[in-house]
Chains A and B, each alone.
Chain A
């Protein structure tokens, strides 16, 4: 009598729906990966191709000095998006974006890319994080 119940329990657990999807890949970024922008961006965004539960972004200048970082960059309205506000207009130069994205299975995807600000300028748009 016990054996059929154990088998049934195993089957029920096994058949319980689980979210599917794996390996969050970068979909695109803004500024784009390797892009030269004329003025400082106000927000750096990285979109992924599957849902996230969290993520971190750190931005460094060409000298390796931290410009800004956050360990809670998941957009409040878009589960595919990590974003971080640039607090002040960036001077001209190379900027290195590091990120880690935690997908719905807590699988962490690391990555990084550069973008280039051509000259010092004002923030292109008012700072708006998506809500």
Chain B
């Protein structure tokens, strides 16, 4: 008993050990927000809650998703995602959990000057854990992922009003671990315009007080995600392959830190309309909302810091520092 308690205590202490702070989702001046339909391009210390509602061929689906991740090093994280669905249809309703899905992500290319991040990811959907009444698969699936993010701050000054734009995206083929006739391919993109970037680096819009806080945290965004089969019945692009996808216009807002002088953003909120692009995707416009917590802003020296940041500090700063100051 004592040994178990000691192990748990040590794990908690290691998890929250105070080490140096590293930024979440940054490439140079660019902060990439967490998008709703797919993951953002950077490994993060985060705790996200999503809520969505859509009318599908199965009925009215209400989804609650918890997604969290923890950085092991400044550029590598592990985490998991868990979704709970409620289905309402003509004769009744049902509910249940989807499969538990641990995931990991690592960044292998960062360019501060060009505001670019490229990362790999791996998602493991563990089959048989979730409830079949909400469509949870009995098969486990591995999904390798490639993420990218690119800000346009390196555009010439004559195009300065375009500099706050950024794009992010991903592509991810899914591979069932058991023999299956169906393999899928997912892809997504987002186009975002950061008023925080505009206000801080391009043109101060002149707002003051509350309106300044409101405007400088705003990020209008359009994102989309699409899923299709890589093969159907063993045939690439076989008959029966149908695209499922959504286009989501909406906005994010970086939530200011509650304590003055403790940094700007402690998280983000977002709301998007969810427009199905095929009949199979849905029958009407739904919506999605999220609350994202930046653990590295709220707990920068403990829970929100990478476990092994010190090992990478010198190399990372020397590599990615601003060359204008010779670092």
Contact = CB atoms under 8 A, between A and B. Distances in A.
Interface of A: 3, 7, 10-11, 14, 16, 18-26, 28-29, 32-35, 49-51, 56, 58, 71, 80, 94, 98, 100, 103, 105-108, 110-114
B29 interface: yes
A98 B317 CA distance: 17
29 contacts: A10-B9, A10-B10, A14-B13, A14-B16, A14-B302, A18-B18, A20-B299, A20-B301, A21-B297, A22-B21, A22-B23, A22-B294, A22-B297, A23-B26, A25-B200, A25-B265, A33-B199, A33-B202, A34-B202, A50-B262, A50-B263, A51-B261, A80-B261, A108-B317, A108-B321, A108-B322, A110-B29, A110-B322, A111-B201
Nearest to A57: B325
Contact of A56 (B6, B20, B297, B325): B325
A22 B306 CA distance: 13
B31 to A, nearest CB: 8
A71 B322 CA distance: 13
B209 interface: no
A17 B55 CA distance: 49
Given A14-B18, A18-B302, A25-B265, A107 B23 contact: yes
Contacts of B16: 14
Contacts of B294: 22
B201 A14 contact: no
Given A23-B263, A32-B206, A107-B21, A100 B325 contact: yes
A45 B246 CA distance: 45
Interface centre among A11, A51, A112 (most CB of B within 10 A): A112
Contacts of A14: 13, 16-18, 302
B52 to A, nearest CB: 28
A24 B112 CA distance: 16
A114 B264 contact: no
A28 to B, nearest CB: 7
Interface in B276-292: none
Contacts of A100: 321-322, 325, 327
B113 to A, nearest CB: 10
Contacts of B264: 23, 25, 49-50
A33 B26 CA distance: 21
B47 to A, nearest CB: 15
The 10 nearest A-B residue pairs measured at CB: A34-B203, A25-B264, A21-B262, A18-B301, A22-B300, A105-B21, A33-B204, A32-B204, A110-B322, A26-B200
Contacts of B13: 10-11, 14
